[in-house]
Amino acid sequence: MTATPSTWDYDHYDAAEERLRESLCTLGNGYFATRGALPECAADDTHYPGTYAAGCYNRLTSTVSGRKVENEDVVNLPNWLPLRFRPAGGDWLTPDTAEVLDHRQTVHLDSGVLERRTSFGLGGDRVLSVRQLRLVHMADPHLAALRTEFTTEGGPVDLEVEAALDGGVTNSGVHRYRDLEGRHLVHVHTGSAADDTVWLRCRTRTSDIRIGLAARTTARAPVTAAREHLCVTQRTTLRAEPGRTAAVDKVVALHTSRDPAISDPLQAAVDRVAEAPGFDDLLVSHRTAWGQLWRRAELEVPGEAGSILRLHLFHVLQTLSPHTADLDVGVPARGLHGEAYRGHVFWDELFVLPYLNLHFPEVSRALLHYRHRRLERARSAARAIGRRGALYPWQSGSDGREETQRLHLNPRSGRWLPDHSHLQHHVGSAIAYNVWQYCEASGDAEFLHTKGAEMLLQIARFWADSATWDERLGRHRIRGVVGPDEYHEAYPGAARPGLDDNAYTNVTAAWVLSRTLDVLADLPEPRRRELVERTALDAAELEQWDSVSRTLHVPFHDGVVSQFEGYGELAELDWAGYRERYGDIRRLDRVLEAENDSVNNYQASKQADVLMLGYLFSPAELRSLFSRLGYRLDEPTWQRTVDHYLARTSHGSTLSGLVHGWILARARRAEAWTYFHEALKSDVADLQGGTTGEGIHLGAMAGTLDLVQRGLTGLETRAGALWLDPVPLPELSSYGFSVRYQGHWGVRFRLEHGRLEIAVPAAGPLPIDVRLPDREVRLQPGDACRLVLPD
C-alpha cells in the first residue's frame, strides 16, 4: 500500500487483505455507500460487496443457545455492482480463478473515485486489461456509476459481459453474527423499463421499507435483459482489440420509501436513471461537489500522518456529508462501510460532532435532531425503570429503543455471554455535551433555546432522579451503571450487573446538571415559561439539581481518582505474563473469559474511562468541576491518575489510543505521539485484528482529525470567543486548517515552528475574539495575525 494526500493505493491482489481493502475503498455520499468490492466477485469468505443506506434498518428474531434474540440491523441492500466478463465461451474471470499479471486499486481522495486496473493472462501471449472507474455521486445522492474499459494485447478477444442487479443478498458480513437470521429483503421483483434499463424492487421484512433500484447499461454493442431468480441481468458481447478500448457504462439510481418528495421508490429510481447524464458528465459534477467539500474541510498536515488524516476525513465526509442534513439518521459507529455493530448509533458522536461543528454545522444540527426526535422514547425508557427524565439507549437504531444485544459471542471460547453494556447511561451526558458544543461553535441560539434546552432538561432530570443520598458519605451516589470501560460491568462474584459511582458518569452528570441550570437561567423569559409549563419544572427541582451537582460522590484510592467505588480493591493483573502468553491482549476480556476467569476481577481497563474526563474538559474546566463537587484535583493528583490507568489499560478500543494521545499531549508530551500514531493506524493497519474489514471505526477517524484541530491547538469555543492553548508535538509541529465559526467561513489557522498564524476572512459578520493563556487578540474581518508561542 502507498499513500499520498490525494490517493490511497494498493498495488497487488491479496485475497487475505480483500475485506480490509473493501472497507477502506468504500465510496459513499452520506445517503448511501458501497464497499470497494470487485464487481465481478460475489459475496464469499474473501469478498463482500455490501451497500447500505443511512437509517435503513430491519428487525429480525433469531434463536441462539435456545433463546429467542431480537436484533435490528442496518440492511445490506440489493447489490448494484455486479459486472462480470469472460472470453466468449470461456470461464468468468476473477482474481481468484484466473491468472493475474498485475492488479492495482486506487482511491482518488480529491475526486471520490475508485479506480481499478487488472491484467489477466488469457493463455499464450494474450492479455486482457480491465480498467474501472466507480463513483457514488456526491452531488446527486441517489446516483452511482461504474465505467469498465477493456483492452487487449496479443490479438483480439470477443468478450461476454454481464451486468446485474442482485436482490438475493443477505447480511452475512460479520462472521460472529452468522448464527443470527440475516435475510432482510423480501418480495423481490425485477423487470425492464427501456432497452437499456432494468429495475429491481423489494422491501424489508419487518420495517417494511420499500426499495427501488434502476440501472442503465450502455455499450457500443446491443444490450439485452433477462430476469432470473432474485436478480435481473443485462448482457452484451464486445470485441476488444489491441490499441482500441471497448467500454461498458452502468449508471444506477437508488430510492427508498424513507425518501422525501417521492410517491414510489421504484418509479423515482426509474425516472432518475432515465434523466441522469452519461458517465463523463456525472464525473464532472461529482468532482465539483467533492472539490467544494474539500475546501470546507481544508486540512494541511505533512508526511504520512497527513496522508492518513486525509483518508480519515474522506471516510467521515462519505458517511456524514451535507446530504445527511436532510435525513433522520444518527452517527453510525462503523460508518456505512459494513455490518459490524449492526449499523447502530452509540456515543461515537462525542468524537465526531466536535469536528463537524467547525466545518459542517448543519450536519451536526441534523444529527442532534435525530436525538431530539427520540426524546420521548428516551423518556419512556426512564419511566420503565422508575425514573424521571430521559434515558437514551447505549445502542440506537430506527426508533430510539435500546438496541444493545442481550447476548454476545466470545470467538475465543465459542460461548454466548450476557451483555450488560446497556447500563452505559453516560451516553445521555455525551448527547448533552454535544448539544452544548454545537451551540457554542455555531452560535445557534434558536436550537439551544428550543430542542437543545428540552434535551438538556430531560437528561439533567434523569441524573438528578438517579442520584440517591448516602448519609454515611454525606453525598449523592449513582449506582448500578457501567462506564466507558466496558470490561467492568459487575463486581466480582456479584449476582447483579452494574457498578457504583463510576467517576466519569458522576462528573459528567454533575456537568450536565450545572450546565442545564445555566442554560435555563439564560433562556428568554417567554421561552423559559413555556418550557417550565410543559415539563412541570419548579424551583424545588432546580434546587435539587444544584445540590446534586455539588454533592455527587467521586471515589479515590491511593491518591488517584478511582474508576468506580471499590476499584482499588480489585486484584492486580500480571500484564507481562499475559502479554508473554498471548501477545496481543487488546481483547483481554475474551482472553480471561476463555480461561474461565473474568476481567471484572482485576484493575484492567479496555479503554480510557476516568481519563475521558481529560478528553472532554480542559485542565481548568476539569479542576473547576471537581472544585464544585468539593474535591481538589491538582496537577500531581491528575498526573498520578494518568500514570495509574496508562499502566492498566489494554487499548481494546480504537478510541483508546486517541484519548490517551489527547491527554498525554498536555501531561507527557514525549509519549503522546506513540498513542496518536496508534490511533492513526488503527484502521489502515487493522490493529484490532480483522475488525476493520467489517466496517471502519468512524469515531476514531473523526477523533484523529479533531486531535489536530482542537487537541493540539487547545482550541475551545466558549463564552463568545475562540480560546487557544497550543501544545505542538515535535512530530507534528507544522500544519494548517480552516474552520467555520459563527458565520465566519474559512477562519485559517497555521502552526509553524513555534508560531501561530490566524486569518479571518473579509466577508465575516463580526470581529472574533481570540484568547490565549497570556494574551487576548480581537481580529476584524479581513485581519490576520502572527503570534509567537511560549516554549
Q: Is the Cβ–Cβ distance between 694 and 713 less than 8 Å?
A: no
CA torsion 727-729-734-739 (nearest 10°) is -50
List strand residue ranges (DSSP E) for 289-404, in order: 299-300
Q: Is the Cβ–Cβ distance between 701 and 684 less than 8 Å?
A: no
- Name, in order, each residue with C-beta under 8 angstroms of 106's C-beta and a sequence gap of 6 or more: 7, 8, 9, 10, 114, 115, 116
Query: What SS3 state is found at 249?
Result: strand
Q: Which residue has the cell 459542517?
A: 360
Cell of 478: 449513582
- Name, in order, each residue with C-beta under 8 angstroms of 396's C-beta and a sequence gap of 6 or more: 330, 344, 345, 346, 374, 402, 403
Cell of 16: 487475505
Start-to-end Cα distance in the chain: 38
The active-site residue out of 72, 403, 486, 678 is: 486
486 is catalytic: yes
Q: Is the Cβ–Cβ distance between 56 and 204 less than 8 Å?
A: yes
Q: In terms of Cα–Cα distance, which of 430, 365, 318, 224 is closest to 31?
A: 318
Query: What SS3 state is found at 755?
Result: strand
- Name, in order, each residue with C-beta under 8 angstroms of 336's C-beta and a sequence gap of 6 or more: 26, 28, 32, 33, 52, 53, 54, 74, 318, 319, 343
**Number of residues that make up the chain:** 791
Burial class (CB in 10 A: 0-12, 13-18, 19+), 407: middle
Tell me how far apart the alpha carbons of residues 51 and 89 are, in angstroms, rounded to a whole number: 31
- Name, in order, each residue with C-beta under 8 angstroms of 398's C-beta and a sequence gap of 6 or more: 55, 57, 72, 207
- Name, in order, each residue with C-beta under 8 angstroms of 122's C-beta and a sequence gap of 6 or more: 87, 128, 154, 157
Q: Is the Cβ–Cβ distance between 483 and 456 less than 8 Å?
A: no
Phi, psi of 167 (to 5 degrees): -100, 10
Q: Is the Cβ–Cβ distance between 683 and 701 less than 8 Å?
A: yes
Cα separations in angstroms, 247 against 34, 90, 435, 437, 724 = 22, 20, 50, 50, 54
Residues recognised as catalytic: 486
